[in-house]
Structure formats: C-alpha cells, structure tokens
C-alpha cells in the first residue's frame, strides 16, 4: 500500500493555509492509496515562554473539535478516491500527561492514527522546542546540557519514555521522526553517529515489545541543515526485518511536500 502516514493541514499555524484538498489531490495524483491527517495536537498553556512561538506551534484547544469535524468531512468527501484516516500528532510532555490524557479521552473514538513525537526538551528557563531554530537550540538547549552527547542522551531517553507511554493505546500508533535531534546537524557541534546508533539499537527491542510503529519521516531531506531522512537506512532495514510497522511520512506542511522522499523510502524498504 502506498501510504503517506504523516501530514498536516490548514490547522497548522507554522505551515501553509492552502486548502486541504490541494494536499490530497497531490497525493491522489502521485498514486497514494492511504493518507493520514495528523495535525499537531493542542499544547498546554504555558508550556514554553515565547508567546508568539507558542501560537504558531499548534492549534488552540478550542479548535480541536473543528479540526476533527473538518478531517471527517474531508474523509467522506474523498471516500471513493483515497483512504483518509483521521489522526493527531501528539507530543510527549511528561510534566503535562493529564492534558494529553484528556485529549485522548475526549477524542479517542474519532482517532484512527496517533503519531507520538518528541519536540520539546527541558532547557534554560523551561521547556524548549528542539526544532525551532539553530539559535534557540544553541542558546537554550546546548547551553543547558553542556555537550551534544548530553543532549542526544536526553533526547533518546525521552523517545524511549514516549514509546512506553503510547504503547497503552489500542489503536495504530507510531513514534514520530525518531532522529529529529539531527535537524540542525550541520550548524551544531558534531553528533557522534556511534552514540546515535547505540541508542537506536537499544530502541528496537522496545518497539517490538510495545508494538509501536515507526514514522519513516523524510522531511529531513527538505532541510538544508540535515539533508537526510529522520530515520537512518540501517534502522529502517532492521525494523523491517524484525516485523516492526514502518510507515512513510512526508510530514507535509504544504501541498508540494506531499510525496517527497517516497523514492528513498521505496528504495530502502
């Protein structure tokens, strides 16, 4: 099945306001059989201090019912052309788990797919978005942990905890862009690839045990400071060999992103 399992919508305020139909028409033209709507879930008030950035990161909680209605309408509209699944991209926020639980309790019956991602780490003065900007990463995260080795270990500790927590959901679930920590790699102190490999090798048995899938996220190919998917090819091969669900995700934030990196995914599956 040709499936884009990680995409965004006009409810993403750091993406495009193009109609969702343009994204889906692009997917149909490229021959996709399934298309998952996985908009960023609302965030708890006060998660980060930058109020302007906070507004851009995710829809406010008041808009979540409208997003779900919108996604269901689009699903029905395209029912005879492509299998659209309604989902969310949730964030692992260990200090705000009650907030996440409320969202899942309220909307569990409407969700077909959940992507669980690590976008935030503790840093200087509170939580910080790790993929916001190079400057923010340097100032608020690197300065806090003191070395890339420490940052990488903290990040993968969060990824492991996220996998364990999301395993409880009895619906399709995937860990989002497992190597997002490498987004700004060319502008930061070098990341030890042996350290990354060691941490990822340790995550494979956890994925098997928990039955959590992998978002094979190719968005890094579109990022000049990364230039590669957020899943290493060796890791994808090993997960596939072990029977772990691996779902391609364009992480499209605008219509022309849909389908990008599919050739890489197809080659390495």
pLDDT of residue 40: 98
Confidence of residue 35 (pLDDT cuts 50, 70, 90): very high
Q: Where are the domains of the chain?
A: 3-268
Number of H helices, E strands in the chain: 10, 9
**C-beta neighbour count of 218 within 10 angstroms:** 26
**C-beta neighbour count of 91 within 10 angstroms:** 26
pLDDT of residue 54: 96
Average per-residue pLDDT in the chain? 97
Beta strands at 246-249 and 3-4: parallel, antiparallel or unpaired: unpaired
CA distances in angstroms from 32 to 20, 42, 68, 267, listed in the order given: 15, 28, 22, 16
pLDDT of residue 5: 98
Confidence of residue 72 (pLDDT cuts 50, 70, 90): very high
The dihedral built from the CA positions of residue 6, 119, 166 and 157, taken in this order, carries a sign that is positive
**Helix (H) / strand (E) containing 34:** strand 34-40
pLDDT of residue 7: 98
**Each residue of 116-140: pLDDT tens digit?**
999 999 999 999 999 999 999 999 9
pLDDT of residue 241: 97
Which neighbouring-strand residues pair with 87? 38, 113
Beta strands at 113-117 and 83-91: parallel, antiparallel or unpaired: parallel
Residues with Cβ < 8 Å from 134, sequence gap 6 or more? Answer: 184, 187, 188, 225
CATH no. for 3-268: 3.20.20.140
pLDDT of residue 222: 98
- What percent of the chain is predicted at pLDDT more than 90? 100
Q: Length of the chain, please?
A: 269
pLDDT of residue 62: 97
pLDDT of residue 118: 98
pLDDT of residue 8: 98
pLDDT of residue 78: 98
pLDDT of residue 6: 98
pLDDT of residue 83: 98
Residue 57 class from Cβ within 10 Å (0-12 exposed, 13-18 middle, 19+ buried)?
buried
Q: What are the φ/ψ torsions at residue 2 (nearest 5 degrees)?
A: -90, 110
Confidence of residue 48 (pLDDT cuts 50, 70, 90): very high
Q: What are the φ/ψ torsions at residue 83 (nearest 5 degrees)?
A: -80, 105
Q: How far apart are CA 87 and CA 99, in angstroms?
A: 17
Helical spans, DSSP H, in 51-95 = 51-57, 64-77
pLDDT of residue 129: 97
**Each residue of 176-214: pLDDT tens digit?**
999 999 999 999 999 999 999 999 999 999 999 999 999
pLDDT of residue 211: 97
Which stretches of 105-250 are assigned E, i.e. beta strand?
A: 113-117, 120-123, 126-129, 172-175, 213-217, 246-249
Whether the CB-CB separation of 150 and 200 falls below 8 Å is answered with: no
- What percent of the chain is predicted at pLDDT more than 70? 100
Mean pLDDT score, 229-252? 98
Query: What tokens does 240 get?
Result: 């596939």
pLDDT of residue 56: 96
């Amino acid at each position: 099945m040709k499936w884009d399992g990680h995409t965004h919508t006009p409810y993403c305020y750091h993406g495009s306001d193009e109609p969702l139909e343009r994204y889906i028409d692009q997917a149909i033209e490229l021959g996709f059989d399934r298309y998952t709507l996985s908009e960023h879930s609302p965030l708890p008030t006060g998660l980060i201090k930058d109020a302007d950035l906070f507004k851009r990161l995710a829809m406010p909680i008041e808009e979540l019912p409208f997003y779900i209605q919108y996604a269901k309408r689009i699903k029905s509209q395209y029912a005879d052309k492509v299998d659209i699944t309604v989902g969310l991209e949730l964030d692992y926020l260990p200090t705000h788990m009650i907030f996440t639980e409320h969202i899942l309790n309220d909307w569990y019956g409407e969700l077909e797919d959940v992507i669980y991602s690590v976008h935030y780490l503790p840093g200087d003065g509170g939580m910080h978005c790790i993929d916001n900007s190079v400057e923010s990463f340097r100032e608020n995260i690197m300065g806090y942990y003191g070395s890339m080795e420490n940052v990488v270990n903290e990040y993968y500790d969060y990824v492991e905890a996220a996998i364990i927590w999301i395993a409880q959901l009895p619906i399709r679930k995937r860990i989002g862009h497992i190597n997002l920590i490498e987004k700004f790699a060319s502008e930061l102190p070098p990341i030890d690839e042996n350290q990354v490999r060691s941490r990822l090798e340790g995550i494979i048995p956890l994925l098997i045990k928990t039955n959590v899938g992998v978002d094979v996220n190719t968005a890094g190919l579109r990022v000049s400071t990364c230039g590669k998917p957020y899943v290493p090819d060796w890791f994808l091969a090993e997960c596939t060999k072990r029977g772990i669900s691996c779902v391609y995700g364009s992480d499209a934030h605008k219509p022309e992103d849909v389908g990008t990196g599919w050739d890489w995914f197809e080659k390495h599956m």
